[in-house]
């Protein structure tokens, strides 16, 4: 709780120092919230035209608080601060579940509470902190459900954990659609790991029981789909199209794969930041071209599909530039200094950020080696990271796109450094800390067999 209070104190200071940023509304979430209160429908801000351009959960949450009497900026700040507190608590429980020792447990929690990227976005009406909280809780509950299967706990407790995980993933999918990919990959990989788990010494597990146990890992996906269902039905009724996420994807794909971006950034020496003037000019040109191309039907869905098709065409025509753009997106995803803040960040602060995130990235690399000795939990955490990398290899990317992974990244980074400590400072302990969550057997025994070899060879390469 002390770390929670420290994290809250820092965020309150940031919000007070940059209170004007809470009114900037760069993604129009406050505009959507106020329009929802005024018109009673989810519409383009200031109009009565239905929209699915932005995910609805965050604006709905803001609308609830604004309707209760809070100012829009105060509502955004309150959501960010409370989400940060819950994220800190969820990270502590995730680190404890994975068997981190006391000092490492508090270090992982402190790094999350004081993460510079989330501190910066605490003063902006954006979804980073809320999404990070929902993702961390969802992943924690999914791991707990899988652990309860291995330990043979009552079915109701297994279902409860998986249902809560699905609830968090579903709400997160209505906040940032990438969470839907994370949920799908983690459910499938969790089911695969359960299917291949080793029976305790002297016992056997029938094929039917293996499939039944692994099928429980699909519950989060089912619950997530139920949470999304009202949004899908609403979009089907309004736009006559299947829209599980948003009508924003085509623009985001085209933003990262177009001739101007390739020429002025990707293929330019040093790969500079895309200038604001050029970006605005390109946005205006694309909007005009899209409206002309779908002159008979200027709906969001038609424009979104046109932008998708145009982006795919640009990728096919510029294969070399596209490959370099993918590498650039990976570079920006893992950047130590957020691109948007680089110009206003001093040299000293940039060095601090480089040390902060550079040390964390070294721990992440070290955590890959833990997967060889402890197949299961760590693989699933890396699957969550992989899901983000999979999407943002193609779509527009910068450092803030990794913000929802903050809790997971901090826990993995500390696990990696703890492994390094065990190897070099305690030679008698050559493996990752023991844990009751071992996936190789249901009683916690770590005996090598062909299944362990499959897990240890496939998943590190995959990650």
Rounded CA-CA distance 292/222 in Å is 40
| pLDDT value, residue 367 | 87
Q: Is 345 helix (H, G, I), strand (E, B) or coil?
A: coil
Same domain, yes or no: 347 and 290: no
Same domain, yes or no: 227 and 300: no
Same domain, yes or no: 371 and 293: no
Same domain, yes or no: 301 and 429: no
| pLDDT value, residue 450 | 37
How buried is residue 373: exposed, middle or buried, by Cβ count under 10 Å (0-12/13-18/19+)?
middle
Same domain, yes or no: 69 and 142: yes
Number of domains in the chain: 2
What residues are paired with 441 via a beta bridge?
198
Residues of the chain falling short of pLDDT 50? 201, 430, 434-463
| pLDDT value, residue 126 | 93
Q: Is 319 left (phi over 0), alpha (psi -120 to 50) or beta?
A: alpha
CA angle at 68 for the pair 67 and 69, rounded to the nearest 5°:
90
Is residue 335 assigned to a domain?
no
Domain that residue 263 falls in: 249-312
Same domain, yes or no: 225 and 121: yes
Same domain, yes or no: 30 and 137: yes
Burial 302-341 (b: 16+ CB within 10 A, else e): bbbbbbbebbeebbeebeebbebbbebbeebbebbbbeeb
Task: Record the tokens describing residue 372, joined without a space.
Answer: 């060889």
The single-letter DSSP state of residue 402 is: G
What angle do helix axes 347-373 and 450-462 make, rounded to 10 degrees? 160
User: Is 30:125 a contact under the CB 8 Å cutoff?
Assistant: yes
Burial 374-395 (b: 16+ CB within 10 A, else e): bbbbbbbbbbbbbbbbebbebb
Is residue 394 assigned to a domain?
yes
Is residue 337 assigned to a domain?
no
Is residue 118 assigned to a domain?
yes
127-148 per-position pLDDT tens digit: 999 999 999 999 999 999 988 8
43-77 per-position pLDDT tens digit: 999 888 899 999 999 999 999 999 998 999 999 99
Is residue 284 assigned to a domain?
yes
Q: How far is CA 374 from CA 84, 388, 446, 459, in A?
A: 30, 23, 8, 11
Same domain, yes or no: 132 and 229: yes
Closest C-alpha among 200, 179, 183 to residue 145: 183
| pLDDT value, residue 427 | 54
Is residue 317 assigned to a domain?
no
Tokens 């893992």 -> residue:
334
pTM exceeds 0.85, yes or no: yes
Same domain, yes or no: 308 and 349: no
Same domain, yes or no: 303 and 385: no
| pLDDT value, residue 377 | 81
Tokens 């080793």 -> residue:
198
312, 331, 361: which is the final residue of a domain?
312
User: Is 329:397 a contact under the CB 8 Å cutoff?
Assistant: yes
Residues 6+ apart with CB under 8 A from 125: 22, 24, 25, 26, 27, 29, 30, 62, 72, 73, 76
Is residue 380 assigned to a domain?
yes
Same domain, yes or no: 271 and 371: no
Is residue 346 assigned to a domain?
yes
Q: What's the alpha-carbon Rg for the chain, to the nearest Å?
A: 23
Same domain, yes or no: 424 and 409: yes
| pLDDT value, residue 439 | 42
């Amino acid at each position: 709780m002390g770390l929670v209070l420290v994290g809250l104190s820092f965020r309150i200071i940031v919000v007070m120092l940059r209170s004007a940023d809470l009114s900037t509304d760069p993604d129009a979430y406050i505009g959507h919230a106020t329009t929802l209160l005024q018109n009673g429908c989810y519409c383009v801000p200031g109009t009565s035209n239905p929209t699915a351009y932005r995910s609805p959960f965050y604006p709905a949450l803001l609308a609830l608080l604004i309707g209760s009497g809070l100012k829009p900026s105060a509502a955004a700040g309150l959501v960010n601060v409370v989400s940060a507190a819950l994220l800190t608590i969820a990270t502590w429980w995730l680190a404890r579940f994975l068997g981190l020792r006391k000092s490492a447990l508090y270090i992982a929690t402190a790094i999350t509470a004081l993460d510079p990227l989330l501190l910066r976005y605490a003063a902006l009406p954006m979804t980073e902190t809320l999404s990070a909280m929902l993702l961390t809780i969802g992943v924690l509950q999914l791991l707990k459900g899988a652990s309860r299967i291995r330990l043979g706990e009552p079915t109701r407790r297994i279902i409860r954990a998986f249902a809560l995980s699905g609830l968090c993933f579903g709400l997160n999918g209505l906040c940032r659609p990438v969470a839907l990919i994370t949920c799908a990959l983690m459910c499938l990989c969790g089911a695969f790991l359960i299917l291949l788990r080793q029976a305790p010494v002297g016992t056997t597990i029938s094929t039917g029981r293996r499939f039944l146990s692994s099928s429980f890992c699909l519950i989060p996906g089912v619950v997530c789909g139920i949470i999304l269902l009202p949004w899908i039905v609403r979009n089907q009724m309004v736009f006559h199209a299947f829209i599980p996420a948003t009508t924003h994807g085509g623009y985001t794909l085209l933003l990262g794969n177009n001739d101007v971006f390739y020429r002025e950034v990707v293929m330019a020496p040093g790969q500079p930041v895309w200038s604001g003037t050029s970006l605005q000019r390109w946005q205006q040109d694309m909007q005009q071209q899209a409206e002309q191309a779908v002159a008979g039907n200027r709906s969001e869905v038609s424009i979104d599909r046109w932008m998708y098709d145009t982006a795919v065409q640009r990728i096919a025509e510029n294969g070399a530039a596209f490959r370099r753009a993918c590498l650039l997106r990976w570079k920006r995803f893992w950047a130590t200094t957020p691109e948007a803040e680089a110009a206003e960040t001093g040299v000293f602060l940039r060095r601090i950020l480089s040390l902060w995130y550079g040390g964390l990235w070294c721990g992440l690399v070290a955590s890959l080696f833990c997967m060889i000795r402890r197949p299961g939990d760590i693989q699933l955490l890396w699957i969550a990271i992989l899901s983000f990398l999979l999407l943002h290899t193609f779509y527009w990317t910068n450092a803030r796109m990794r913000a929802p992974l903050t809790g997971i990244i901090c826990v993995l980074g500390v696990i990696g450094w703890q492994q390094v400590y065990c190897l070099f400072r305690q030679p008698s302990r050559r493996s990752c800390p023991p844990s009751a969550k071992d996936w190789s057997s249901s009683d916690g025994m770590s005996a090598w067999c062909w299944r362990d070899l499959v897990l240890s060879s496939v998943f590190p390469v995959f990650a």
